Structure 1
Amino acid sequence: MNPELNRLTEFLPRPTAPEQTPDWEAAEATLQTGLPTDYKELVNAYGGGLVDGYLLLLEPGCPNDVYDQLKTSAERDEANGSLWMYEDTPAELENDSARLICWATTDNGEYLYWLVRPGDDPDSRTVMINDESGEDWERYDMTVTRFLTAVLSGEIHSEILWDKFPLPQHDFRPARDIWNVCLGTE
């Protein structure tokens, strides 16, 4: 386990390990790029789920499709493509071969992405946050686990994310538990 994930577990209670981990090869083939090691370790440890009742950590192929990273990424590609026909593209995407891959969203409609450039190192990708209007962006040059640790510890504060996030007492609710509630099997 990477040091940032170890540190994150100090702030965010870790659920029982998921029964199944994503098929990372299939996910990377679908997304046509490698995924960051820390994200894989995070999802292997936590699974997809809800952080502090607000941030939805996405998981490739999650049975609860609200938390399916592959589905959400495809939807965001389409939505952003349509939006950027009429709105300014973020400066980071002015290179035609750069793109975004969504790894989290919020219940307010913000999206958290990796900035992916041809030949880049997946483990050093920039985290970008887009507000619900699609106009404002924030950029963080850090890994997903570093970003989550910094936000939950109060080291950084996003101007885009909800001002009540993070909560004083952190909580993680696995998508599989939310799914079971929806199905009435919990």
Structure 2
Amino acid sequence: MTDLDALVRLCPPPNQAMQINWDGIESTLGMPLPDDYKALADRYGPGGFCHYLTPYHPHGPTEYVNLTGPMPARIRSYLRTDYDRGTYPVPYDPDHLFACGVTGNGEYLFWITDPVTDSSRWRIAVNEARGPRWFTYDGTMTSFLVSVFIGETRVPQFPDSLLELPPTFTPSHPVLVKFRPYVAPVVIDTGAVRAWARENGYDVPARGRVPADILKAWEDAQNR
């Protein structure tokens, strides 16, 4: 019996299986996806387990749960900042963390995409929404779900009440939404702006905020 068979037995899907264009999805993401995840997403469709744990899905109805939406890149950017600054002890290089789910408390599920070309070897990591703890599961997303739902795996970040009732799956309702790609904020080198301003006859302070009119003039000059 496969992990998906075990999950279906624990938590029957409410809908017919989907037929997702995985070649197109993987082309969009630029990487192969685990076979277990593709079978899981096909069988269950978009939605959440136990009103708590929502795997990202290629047809997720909002940008916050869509696998090809902006959230994976946005979360990776946040992790990169934490990793570089030492804010939280991120245990893996953020370049090898791809967000693939979210919980009702704001934790994220990640694939540890190492090696990126062999998704059969990817593992699962879970962060803490407002704290430093991480949990790593040495297996696939589907086996992780099964192990959690039968009580074999205890994730410290998950509430004890998660297993008080039998596991359920609630499909997402379609939502009309226009996805916007994540755009990283532009960082302006104020030193370069000050040097340009002085060379062009502007009176610019040596410290503090660069006046808005000088910034505008500098931006106009860069776009010529």
Q: Any unmatched runs of 5+ in structure 1?
A: none
Normalized against structure 1, the TM-score is what?
0.83
Contact 1:129-1:138 within 8 A present in 2 as well: yes
1:170: Cα distance to partner? 1.6
The 1-side partners of 2:59 and 2:3 are apart by 24
Shift of 1:92: 3.0
String of CA shifts for 1:113-132, please: whole Å, max 9, x gaps. 11012455211211000010
Stretches of 4+ moved more than 6 A in 1? none
Q: Output the CA distance in 1 between the equivalents of 2:14 and 2:123.
A: 27
- CA offsets per residue over residues 75-107 of structure 1, 9 Å max, x none? 2122222332322453332xx8x5111111011
Match of 2:103 among 98, 103, 106: 106
> Structure 2 vs 1, CA of residues 30 and 82 (structure 1 numbering), >3 Å: closer, same or farther?
farther
Higher Cα Rg, which structure = 2
1:40 Cα deviation (Å)?
0.2
In angstroms, what is the RMSD of aligned CA positions?
Answer: 2.4
Q: How many residues align?
A: 175
- The separation in 2 between residues aligned to 1:164 and 1:130, in whole angstroms, is 19
Q: Report 1 or 2 for greater relative contact order, CA contacts < 8 Å, sequence distance ≥ 6.
A: 1
- Contact 2:32/2:117 (CA < 8 Å) preserved in 1? no
Give me the whole-angstrom Cα distance separating, in 1, the residues matched to 2:27 and 2:61.
19
Show the counterpart of 2:205: none
- C-alpha deviation, 1:69, in angstroms: 1.6
8 Å Cα contact 1:52-1:167 kept in structure 2 = no
1:131-146 alignment runs, 5 A limit: 131-133=128-130, 135-146=132-143
Equivalence for 1:130? 127
- For normalisation by structure 2, the TM-score amounts to 0.70
| In structure 1, distance between residues paired with 2:131 and 2:67 | 19
